[in-house]
Structures are given as C-alpha cells and as structure tokens.
Amino acid sequence: KWKFRRARGILQFMNKMRINEIFYSLQGEGRYTGTPAVFIRMAGCNLRCPFCDTQHETFVEISEEEIVAEARKYPTRTVVITGGEPVLQLTPLLTDLLHKDGFAVHLETNGTLRLPDGVTMDWITCSPKEGAVLRLDAFDELKVVYYGQDMSPFDSLTAREYRLQPMDTGDPVANQKNQDATIDYILNHPKWTLSLQTHKILKLQ
C-alpha cells in the first residue's frame, strides 16, 4: 500500500521519484483533447499560483522502472507527464524507458526550468504563469490560462500552436465572465484558439 507524505521544495539527487498519482483517462486540454493517455503526476511545484486547481503535494517514492511498469498496465501508448511541475524531477532514464516501451511522451510544464540534458519529449505544452521567468527554450504548444490579464508578455513566444483557456475560479458567475472574455480575445486575436477543460465538463479524472 502506498503511503503518502507531503512534498517540500525542489527535488534533486533522488534515487526514486516522488509521484502524486498515476491514472488512465482522456486528455482534457489542448492539442490532444480526447486522446486516451496515462497521466503521471509528479509531486511538488516551484510556483504557488492562486488559481491552481491541482492537488499535487502528497506522494509516494517509486523508481522510473516502477513508473513504466504501472503505465504499461493500460492499453494506450501515450503518457502525459504533469504536476505540479514535473521538470523538478524529470530524468533521461524515465523518458528513455518510456520511449523504449513504445510510448509517445508528452509534457505539461510551467516553463520556468530547462529540460535536463538527455530528456526527449514528443510534445511539450508550456503554460507560463504571469510574473514567472520563462527558461524553457522550445515547446510545441503555448497554453495561457486567461482571466483578462495583459497578454503582451506572450507576444514574443514562439510555438507551433497557441491556446487560450478560461481560468476556472470555482464560481459560475466569474467563470462565465472569463469564458466570454476569452472568446472575445480570441476573436480579436485569431492566432489563439480556445482550450476548454473538457475533463471537468465530462467529470473525468
């Protein structure tokens, strides 16, 4: 039985990885919405965003080999490494083992950390946070959580695809306001396309 503890700080030089959960579901956001995937959620983050809706602090410590063995139990060959902020713990060994097992490896990151040497990804979604310094050199998808903020800091960022996602505040009235503002912004700035959290709409994990 897994015993959970609370993650603290930036994780380095560990023989095992701190994993919050591993589960099988549909990708709910972005380019691969609707795609069956194994989600590997790593514990801990280097940011404290007020709108964060992910419980990622508890964890178990397991090895890269054990992570791949768990992912192998499911019929898909797509994994999404997410968090928290997964780059705090990401290792070349994990991505190499997943690729050798035939998985396409996707990453969801806030972009404040560079990928470790030797880590290879098939798709990177970067969701930068306002005020945080972006250090990731390259990514496939830029996804911004929108709540009416100044979008000019994102104008210079280059990606293959650009997504704007209404912020979920937990309040239906505020959410409707954010949704309307997001649609209006996209209509006036057609570089961006709409990303919805369909897993929440469908009540999926």
Q: Which of 4, 23, 54, 120 is catalytic?
A: 54
Active-site residue, 171 included = no
Active-site residue, 53 included = yes
* Residue 99, burial from CB neighbour count under 10 angstroms (0-12, 13-18, 19+): middle
Q: Which of 29, 64, 108, 141 is catalytic?
A: 108
Q: Which of 33, 49, 57, 91 is catalytic?
A: 49
Q: Which of 39, 59, 103, 154 is catalytic?
A: 39
Active-site residue, 108 included = yes
Give the sheet arrangement for strand 36-42, strand by strand. Answer: 5-6, 58-62, 17-26, 36-42, 78-82, 104-109, 123-126, 141-146, 161-166, 193-194
Q: Which of 45, 64, 112, 139 is catalytic?
A: 45
Buried b / exposed e over 135-167, threshold 16 CB at 10 Å, is ebeebbbbbbbbbeeeeeebeeeebebbbbbbb
Distance CA 19, CA 40 (A): 7
> Which amino acid makes up residue 106?
H
Q: Which of 4, 51, 52, 193 is catalytic?
A: 52
Q: Which of 4, 51, 53, 184 is catalytic?
A: 53
Active-site residue, 126 included = no
In the chain, DSSP finds a helix count (H) and a strand count (E) of: 4, 10
Q: Which residues are tagged catalytic?
A: 39, 45, 49, 52-54, 108, 199
